[in-house]
Chain A
Amino acid sequence: MAMQRAEAAHPVLYPSMDPITVNGTAYTPAVPAETPLIDFIRDTLGLKGTKLGCGNGECGACTVLLDGRAVCACILTVGAAAGGAVTTIEGLGGESGGLHRIQAAFLEVGALQCGFCTSGMIMATAALLDDNPSPDRRAIREGLNGNICRCTGYTKIVEAVEHAARGA
């Protein structure tokens, strides 16, 4: 009951919001259009793989793909993403439920420690490799500069991205 009252205090719904496709499924969001996309992904759809690191678009932990481009789900709204196709870490998997080559490369190279940045890092890598299938180390470091990792010192992530690119 209380939740309904709370929502009633903010009754602004985008009247004709276009559906959002998330990982291939189209949803017509039943949330206010100004809801941060990350809340829709995590709380409404229950896809918890996307992480909230800073809420300000500074760390990249919440990186998802919107129409193939890396964006920060923490400062993008549902309204801004409406009509688009969102891919989260859960939607990246390879053929028949196996690991995507980027995921496999991160695992094999050991390019993760606490793992909290990993989803965003892998999604940013997906966008990077889509744009530039064989980046050199300089391009990898530039392309992933929107993602902070506090654990690894980045070296193994750069190696994993090279590894994934080679495995393409």
Chain B
Amino acid sequence: MAPDAVELRTVGRRVPQLEGADKVTGRAVYTPDVVLEGMAHGAILRSPHAHAEIRAIDTAAARAFPGVLAIITGRDLPGIPYVHISKFSDRFPLAREKVRFFGEEVAAVAAETRAIAEEACRLIKVDYRPLPAVHEPEDALAPGAPEVNRAPADTGERNVALKFSRDFGDVAKGFAEAALVVEGDYRNGVVSPVAMETNGTVARWEGGRLTLWTATQAPFYIRKEVAHVLRLEPACVHIKPVAVGGGFGGKAKICEQEALAAALAIAAERPVRLVLTRYEDLVAGKTDHGKAMRVRTAVDAEGNILARSSSLLIDNGAYTAFGPVYVAAARQRTCNLYRVAAAHYDCRLAFTNKVPGGAYRGMGAPQIIWAIEDQVDEIAERLGIDPIDYRIKIANRPGDVTPLGWEITSCALAECLEVVRERLGWTEKRANPVPWRGVGVASMIHPSAGVLYEEGNYANVGVELTAEGRVRLATMTADAGTWQNTMLAQLCGEAMGLDPTLFEVIHMDTEASPVDLGSAASRVTYVTGNAAADAGRRLVAAIGAALGARYGLGSVAAVIMDCKVHLTGLNRPPLDLAEVFQAVGPLRVIGSFSTPATRPDPETGYGNYAAAYCFGAQGAEVEIDPVTGKVRVLKLVAAQDVGRAINPTAIEGQIQGGVVQGIGMALSEEMVFEEGRPVTTSYLDYKVPRFDDLPDIEVVTVDSIDAIGPFGAKAAGEPSINATVAAIANAVANAIGVRMRELPMTPERILAAIKARDGTPDIATRPFTRRKNFRVAAVRSLYPSLVFPALRTFGPRLAGPETAPVARAPHSYPRSVAEALAHLAEDPAGSKIRAGGTDLSVGIKQGIYSPAAIVDISRIASLAGIAATADTLTLGAGARLADVARHPDVPRLAPMVVEAIGQLATPQIRNMATVGGDLCQQKRCWFFRSALPCYKLKGATCPCFAVLGDSRNHAILSTERCNAPCPADLAPVFAALGATAVIASPAGERRVPMDGFYRWSGEPDIAPGEILTAIEIPVRRPTTATAFEKFALSKGYFGVASVAVSLDLAEGVMRRVRVAMGSVSPFPERARGAEELLEGARPTPALIAEAARATVTGALPLKPAAYKTGVLVGLTERALARATG
């Protein structure tokens, strides 16, 4: 019987996630939830340098700190590097002679509390000698580059960890005979998995045995590596089951905290919890690899691909973790999708002073397929073929052998493309283009389980009959949220004829389960899943054998139906599983599976890699905002050949999740570095997709019933990301006629592409109409050679001693403004006011605030009031944003305030943050927020890092020493409304118009000891029209640019025109030139356009922020049109 004709009872059902009830009730226990008797808390001291020699480490002061239990440095460990891939083993759990990236682990502390451990880390004195660092792979290969890490002897090149070059087939002939060659250079930066649960471990050392609870995908690797670096017997290391909050590759092998938690537990003789903060996870968690790719594709006149050549330069980071595997995976990605006759691949893996690259979903496929599919689209266009027709023509088909020797068996790629064509509305949308909209399509291929480590190609699963009549399934691989446990129960249950709800699945446990490599490389469904099915069959056979023996009948065949065991051919009543257990006692069997495919040649990479391959196609429809450059995905259809859907709910969720990670990779996710230090260290700056950025993701699974996969299934979860970037990029190309060559396709890159396409000149800003810009321009011209080096070198030393961060400043809770003023008067300069706390709490952790005392004004009822008179609306400074927006009077009297609050922060933050807090929050500059020693943080002797760094978010108007813009959305709104700030001081109350509320530098003009108490807004007149326009990368994020307009329109004439700009200047600057043009005039499109252009008169943007001039002009036009429309 053909496998697809078998009647399935369990496979194919939407079985709820086995752990789902625990997760929706909060009962599931994750690593940070593990509490052990006597548990201590760990913290890690990390390198503040991208590259430095460690001359000495002095831990004396830290050891003497009360509550410290143990401190370890590199010298306290056995001096054994991680195995990773043994030839490339180059990293110790703690740095020894050198640190090679910002955030590298230098020492670890165990203490009674996390706060004490962190404080002790600060007390450890490390004597560093900074060394020249290399941040980009191209620079690492340049002559004379500093050596980041020792290259293996066989590469013969400085900073090259691995190089590879080979032809598969006759590549030269392919290019020689080509009718058409397309080529391009493609580039992607560093992206990060950022699972919602950060990496973390709880370790216990007891009686010579180490027990770990750890957020990992692969306990197998944790046991192996921890035992290795701590010189323990692997059998003495026990990984326990725990819920794991996402992995995506970031937890695919050892991270660093496992070994450190273990070493601390041994040193402290106490259990230790070591859970990384989000900052640490973003700074030191392994990332995907940055790449530069040169790709060429040769086709004949019909479009048959004769050859492809791919040259890659891959960023390895400072140590080798996954790099060599990535080089091999990248090779596969370049030439196996579609029918390609011959392929060349060469690659260099370069060391840089960055966090080591790791594994991330797709292992390079999303970006490499982006390059390939960009060229496939270009070929289709140049040959005049419909892109989907062309893809179907060149699609892989069963029986194909690819240039790398992959033998294609089950394959439904052409079917997936047809599904996308129909569901996306492709034909109609391509035929009827809408301006600024586009549709694009892309395909993917992925090995269904293929691992370069031999252990990845087999699996064992244990199953056991329990006294309660259930089946306990034990697997060493971890379910990090993929529903693997549910699917393994379904597969085993299908093999047994048993309902999956009768299963208990124990994952991860290295003692309860037989060996399995773990959840990585798309192997669990296929390899472990087959082992689970095998285990089920064996358990049924074992039941039959045991019952037969029990009844003296010899071995008999058992069949399970309706949860009962029937013995074939015997006239005995069926037994339930509990009765079986009573009759025969415990039964435990191990099922196993070994992938039948031959292995590729390890040197060349040639050979069939996996027993099956997955395929899929995705189609995207996008819309681009020509003013802001923002790409919005309107529709996304993913059709995927999954072999057979074991659990449609699980697979749809996996595919939807992979697609959304792909959308992030395509449009917004990117690590930004300054001096090798990541400055994108929060979710505000490292921008993962949110609800409001996205459409519903439409998923169609296509069955191809694989002959070897369990019940016909293939891998499905990981590869769903593979085609997304390419589909979106092709849709963008369809919309704007430009092929983007750098990821992510951020707004400023899109705007630059449109500008280059049209040859649009820069907007004339006439910067020197502002006289101080002469000085600013002169200083900037000297910045690279003189100003920056001098200030960077000497500034921090001259700035005085480091201010010690205050772990916990004393708080006071006054009940009245007078009481608050009295508290402030005790230490005016050292005190900070806390209202909603949404900025202060964060800023203290970031090291930008170090108050000696905090005056919490949240309990002063008078500050939270909202009141209106005939002509004034008064918002208390302590009024929460949500309360302002909901207040019955505010929409009527000052609708623009409500409009702005709707675009400000998240619902949770609006419930906490206050009006005064919005106005008084610190700047959001990512250099400042990373506590780089900058002018704003450290004072006049220090430089502004934006001048030479990535200043895409910075101000374009009125900057001097600091280039950070005003982040407060309400500031331009209040300025446009002509509002007045009320400030209480010991001498009495004073009123300041919003125009004068900020100093030139953007600091509120509030003296130490004073409190902002209210904002008074003139109420809207019947003729008043207002509009607020803001552009942010995501709804509620801090603005890229905003503009608030208020004017009176009576008898067709504009009066009392106020235009105030946000996020483009250190303060909410009024656009006086625009106001003058509009005042007393009748609104016409031409006048509005002219006035909008006048907003940027005098702008002197840093180059990366120059796109903001166009954004500001466009937003102003929109706001004026809306207000006068």
The residues of A with any CB-CB pair to B shorter than 8 Å are: 2-3, 5-6, 9-10, 12, 14, 32-34, 36, 42, 46-61, 63, 66, 69-72, 74-77, 79-80, 88-90, 93, 99, 103-104, 106-119, 122, 124, 127-128, 137, 140-158
Contact = CB atoms under 8 A, between A and B. Distances in A.
Given A75-B838, A114-B197, A147-B691, A56 B683 contact: yes
A146 B911 CA distance: 11
B196 A116 contact: yes
A157 B912 CA distance: 25
Nearest to B911: A69
A90 B113 contact: no
Nearest to B654: A113
Nearest to B638: A153
A103 B26 CA distance: 10
Contact of A75 (B482, B655, B842): B842
Contacts of B808: 10, 12, 32, 34
Given A3-B113, A151-B653, A154-B691, A54 B811 contact: no
Indicate the member of B16, B19, B691, B911 with the most A CB atoms within 10 Å.
B691
Nearest to A54: B278
A60 B481 contact: no
A74 B649 CA distance: 32
Nearest to B695: A155
B16 A34 contact: no
Most-contacted residue by chain A among B26, B69, B813, B1034 (CB, 10 A)? B26
A58 B656 contact: no
Given A79-B856, A80-B837, A107-B16, A51 B25 contact: no
Contacts of A69: 882, 911
A116 B197 contact: yes
A70 to B, nearest CB: 5
Interface string B332-343: 000000000000
A113 B246 contact: yes
B481 A151 contact: yes
Contacts of A74: 841
Given A52-B32, A57-B842, A75-B842, A124 B907 contact: yes
Contacts of B1035: 142, 145
Contacts of B24: 99, 103-104, 106-107, 112, 115, 118, 122
Nearest to A128: B907
Contact of B21 (A55, A99, A127): A99
Given A59-B683, A75-B841, A115-B245, A89 B26 contact: yes
A53 B278 contact: yes
A108 B116 CA distance: 44
A110 B67 contact: no
Interface of B: 14, 16-17, 19-30, 32-33, 35, 66-67, 69, 111-113, 115-116, 193-197, 243-248, 277-278, 480-483, 649-650, 652-661, 682-684, 688-692, 694, 696-697, 807-811, 813, 837-838, 841-842, 845, 854, 856, 858, 882, 905-909, 911-912, 1034-1036
B683 A154 contact: no
Contacts of B845: 55-56
Kindly name the residue among A34, A46, A57, A112 whose own CB sees the greatest number of chain B CB atoms within 10 A.
Answer: A57
B399 to A, nearest CB: 34
Contacts of A6: 66-67, 112-113, 115-116
Contact of B657 (A2, A58, A93, A153): A153
Contact of A54 (B248, B682, B838): B682
A59 B916 CA distance: 23
B66 A5 contact: yes
A93 B25 CA distance: 8
B1036 A150 contact: no
A137 B697 CA distance: 13
Contacts of B32: 48, 51-52
B682 A154 contact: no
Given A110-B649, A112-B17, A76 B483 contact: no
A111 B647 CA distance: 14
26 contacts: A2-B116, A5-B66, A6-B66, A48-B29, A55-B845, A63-B908, A69-B882, A70-B911, A72-B838, A75-B842, A77-B811, A88-B26, A89-B25, A99-B24, A110-B652, A114-B195, A114-B197, A114-B246, A141-B692, A142-B1035, A148-B688, A150-B194, A151-B653, A153-B660, A154-B694, A155-B696
Contact of B659 (A57, A79, A153): A153
> Which residue, of A32, A36, A58, A152, has the highest number of chain B Cβ atoms within 10 A?
A58
Contacts of A60: 906, 908
Given A69-B882, A155-B696, A110 B653 contact: yes
B656 A155 contact: yes
B906 A146 contact: yes
Closest 7 CB pairs of A and B: A49-B26, A114-B481, A146-B906, A116-B245, A115-B23, A153-B656, A153-B660
B904 to A, nearest CB: 12
